[in-house]
Chains A and B, each alone.
Chain A
Amino acid sequence: MKEIIGKVQNIGKEIIGKITKKDSLIRFNKKLILVTESPKKRYTRYQAIITIPTMINKIDGVVFYTEDIESLNEEDIVLITPDGRISVLYQSNSYHNVLLLTNLCNCNCIMCPQQKVKNENDMTPLNIELISLMSKKTKQLGITGGEPTLLGDNFFRIISECKTRLPETSIEVLSNGIKFKDFEFTKELALLEHPDLLIAISLYADTDNAHNNIIQTKGFYDTIEGFYNLALFQQKIEIRVVINALNYKRLPKLAEFIYHNFPFVYHIAMMGMEPTGLAEKNINKVWIDPYEYKNELRKAIIYLNQRDMNVSIYNHQLCLLPEELWPYARKSISTWKNLYLNECTGCQIKDNCGGFFESSRKYHSKYIHLLNK
Chain B
Amino acid sequence: MNKYQILPFKFTRFNTDTVFITNEVGEFLFISNEDFEKFVSYKLHDNNKTYLDLKSKHILTDSSLTSVINMLSVKYRTKKSFLQNFTSLHMVVSTLRCNSKCIYCQVSHKDLCDKGYDMDKNTASKVVDMIFKSPSPDIKIEFQGGEPLLNFDIIKFIIERSIKINKKINKNLEFVICTNLILITDSILNYLKKYNNVYISTSLDGPDNLHSNNRPLQSGENSYSIFIQNLTKTRQILGKHKVDALMTTTGLNITYFAEVIDEYIRLGFNNIFLRSLNPYGFAQKQREIVGYPIEFFIEEYKKALLYIIELNKKGIYFIESFACLLLTKILTPFPTYFVDLQSPAGIGISGVIYDYNGNVYPSDESRMLAAMGDNKFLLGNVMKNSYNEIFNGDYLKSLIKSSCLESLPGCSCCAYNMFCGADPIRHYSEHGDIIQNPIKSNVCKKNKGIISFLLDLIRKDNEEINNIFWSWITRRPLTEIKRCS
Contact = CB atoms under 8 A, between A and B. Distances in A.
Do A and B belong to a common assembly? yes
Interface of A: 206-210, 221, 224-225, 228, 250, 253, 256-257, 259-261, 263, 302, 305-308, 323-324, 326-328
7 contacts: A207-B52, A259-B333, A263-B334, A307-B470, A308-B476, A323-B485, A326-B485
Contacts of A261: 71, 74-75, 333
A307 B71 contact: no
Interface residues of B, number: 27
Interface in B385-421: none
A228 to B, nearest CB: 6
A170 to B, nearest CB: 24
B85 interface: no
Contact of B71 (A210, A224, A324): A224
B71 A208 contact: no
Contacts of B483: 305, 324, 327-328
Nearest to B26: A260
A74 to B, nearest CB: 36
B63 A209 contact: yes
Nearest to B484: A324
Contact of B53 (A253, A305, A327): A253
Given A250-B52, A253-B56, A306-B470, A221 B67 contact: yes
A294 B1 CA distance: 41
A328 B55 CA distance: 30
Given A260-B333, A327-B483, A306 B63 contact: no
Interface in B295-316: none
Contacts of A263: 78, 332-334
A206 B56 contact: yes
By Cβ-Cβ distance, the 5 closest A-B pairs, closest first, are A221-B67, A306-B470, A206-B56, A308-B474, A326-B485
A257 to B, nearest CB: 6
A253 B52 contact: yes
A259 B331 CA distance: 10
Interface string B441-485: 000000000000000000000010011001000101000011111
Nearest to B461: A299
Contacts of B2: none
A147 B355 CA distance: 62
A308 B482 CA distance: 11
B75 A208 contact: no
Given A261-B74, A324-B484, A208 B63 contact: yes
Nearest to B51: A207
Contacts of B122: none
Contacts of B74: 228, 261
A210 B481 CA distance: 31
A304 to B, nearest CB: 11
Nearest to B78: A263
Given A207-B56, A250-B52, A305-B483, A221 B64 contact: yes
Nearest to B55: A207
A221 B78 CA distance: 19
B466 A306 contact: yes
Given A263-B334, A306-B467, A308-B474, A208 B481 contact: no
Nearest to B334: A263
B118 interface: no
Given A228-B74, A257-B56, A306-B481, 16 more contacts: A207-B56, A208-B63, A209-B63, A221-B64, A250-B56, A253-B52, A253-B53, A260-B27, A263-B78, A306-B466, A308-B470, A308-B474, A323-B485, A324-B483, A324-B485, A327-B485
